[in-house]
Amino acid sequence: MATKSCSRTLEVTIISGEGLLVTQSRPVKKNAFVIVRTDSVDTQMTKLDTEGESNPAWNEKLVVDMPIHARFLTVEVQCKTSSGNRVIGTARVPVSDFTGGYTPENYLHFLSYRLRDGNGERNGIINLSVRAKVPENASSYATFYSQPGLKVSADEGVSGGIVTGVPVWYGYQR
């Protein structure tokens, strides 16, 4: 259970791929799949796309646990061949692209990344969406600050419970 408190749950939907090549001149014919890794802690895999050729579509949601300290989410496209699985391309998705910043928790991010093969050459694009899930034990989005003279809360009926704004230092003087 200690791992759960040091991780967050991600919903990663692998939508599709574009322009995938087995070699520089040979497109993927069938049996492409995607592996999602989070700091080698959690690994999930999509089903095979048997019809999409070099533009496969999965539309498959994978749920993975990502450590809080993780900096990247690794997305790897592979193709099942008669001689085994072949890596088509890999993308390292920075965690900062879908967490933190000015977007609220539970926000659905649609992302596209260039895949790179084992030699670092461009090899297609992966389209995905990522949502960092809010822990079930989180009571509310409403935030109350304890500084004197500063109190902000969210009205659930008007804003859906999300507070946004710019921090202002109370008592600032020139």
Entry pTM: 0.73
| CATH fold label, 2-132 | Immunoglobulin-like (2.60.40)
pLDDT, average across residues 76-100: 91
Check residues 40 and 146 and name the one with the higher pLDDT.
Answer: 40
Q: What is the Cα Rg of the chain in Å?
A: 21
Q: Report which of residues 118 and 159 the model is more confident about.
A: 118
**CA nearest neighbour of 46 among 37, 55, 38, 54:** 37
Q: For residue range 107-116, what is the model confidence (pLDDT) as tens digits?
A: 999 999 999 9
Instruction: Parse the chain into domains and list their residue ranges.
Output: 2-132, 139-174
Checking if the pLDDT of 148 tops 50, the result is no
Do the Cβ atoms of 117 and 87 come closer than 8 Å? yes
